[in-house]
Amino acid sequence: MNFGMFTDFHVRKGMSQPEAFDESFAQVTEAENMGIDSVWLAEHHFSPDRSVLASPMVLCSAIAARTSRIRIGMAVQVLPLTNPLRVAEEAATVDQISKGRFEFGIGRSGLTKYYQGYNVPYSESRQRFFEALEVIMTAWNNPQFSYHGEFYAYNEVTVVPKPYQEPYPPTRVAVASEDTFSLVGNMGHPIFISANTPIPQLRERLLLYRQARQKSGHEGPGEVSMRVPIYVSEDAKKAESEPESSAMHAIRYGAEELSKTAASSEGAERLRKMASVPYEEILQNRVIFGTPAAVTDRLQEFQETLGITGVVLEVNYGGQIPNGQVVNSVKLLADKVMPNFK
């Protein structure tokens, strides 16, 4: 199983923006030194109290220059907000700089605030996403191409550089709705799933994804990475108490801020309802907080039940856990959990 560390380049209360960059870069360096397989970057806009991670491609490049082994991915680049030709150039550049350590994670995001800020109608996000993906794949697979779609048009253009990896970096799509599982399965791309979705529902949708892959002639069941918050401590009580305030901060932020710009009324209602869920229920259903043995058991359960091939672990869920505790949790993960899956 691939073990990835998810980072938001969080801004903790009282932290300056330069400090936020420094702390997150240091955590990535620690992760590489500890043997974590990959690091994954989010994309956030217009959220000064949450994150400084507005330009994930730039930060991927900076991480590539600071590291030598760890794979560097996006979870995710919000494709409809950008010109896909520019994305194709920049992603290929990062892949070259990293000597093929780049993972191209893409999605639409469920927050309309980003689209409003960029003056892109969210109602067009789905069509823009798939058209942008088609442009990028065409650009990487052809020495020169022309394209004329609903939103993008190009005449006899050549993307330089081409990716280091042939034919292109692993391209992983974040999926949530039922029909998207089948659509992406038909295309053959690996996927991200979220632990926020109930296990029975995930199992049904993953079956649709795998059936679509098989029907379209793609070999194997496909790679599936699950994003889930995690915290590890040798002491079971500390494993639950130390990240509690940060986790509840994340849930309150979702209810008070993110729900205002959620793409659907159902999503907004789900975020608001989460704020009233007891912490004990959060521990059971939404996160993996525990001792190395308990965390190992939960991950094995996900692996056996869903057939996941990787995890994208939110090691600082809510962004308010002190740096020393985050680093200690990642060390325990690397030393006492990961070996059980290698």
All structural domains of the chain: 2-236+286-341 (3.20.20.30), 244-285 (no CATH)
Residue 9 CB contacts under 8 Å (≥ 6 apart), including other chains: 20, 21, 24, 41, 42, 51, 52, 53, 59
What pLDDT does 190 receive? 98
Residue 265 CB contacts under 8 Å (≥ 6 apart), including other chains: none
What pLDDT does 251 receive? 87
User: 210: number of CA atoms within 13 Å, CB side?
Assistant: 14
Written as tens digits, the pLDDT of the chain (342 aa) is: 999 999 999 999 899 999 999 999 999 999 999 999 999 999 999 999 999 999 999 999 999 999 999 999 999 999 999 999 999 999 999 999 999 999 999 999 988 999 999 999 999 999 999 999 999 999 999 999 999 999 999 999 999 999 999 999 999 999 988 899 999 999 999 999 999 888 999 999 999 999 999 999 999 999 999 999 999 999 999 999 999 999 999 988 877 776 677 767 766 676 677 777 899 999 999 999 999 999 999 999 999 999 999 999 999 999 999 999 999 999 999 999 999 999
CA distance 300 to 70: 23
Backbone angles phi, psi at 155, to 5 degrees: -125, 115
| pTM attached to this predicted model | 0.94
Burial class (CB in 10 A: 0-12, 13-18, 19+), 257: middle
Pairing state of beta strands 38-41 and 71-74? Answer: parallel
Backbone angles phi, psi at 107, to 5 degrees: -170, -170
**Angle of the 84-97 helix axis to the 125-141 helix axis, nearest 10:** 50
Backbone angles phi, psi at 135, to 5 degrees: -60, -45
CA distance 334 to 328: 10
What pLDDT does 196 receive? 85
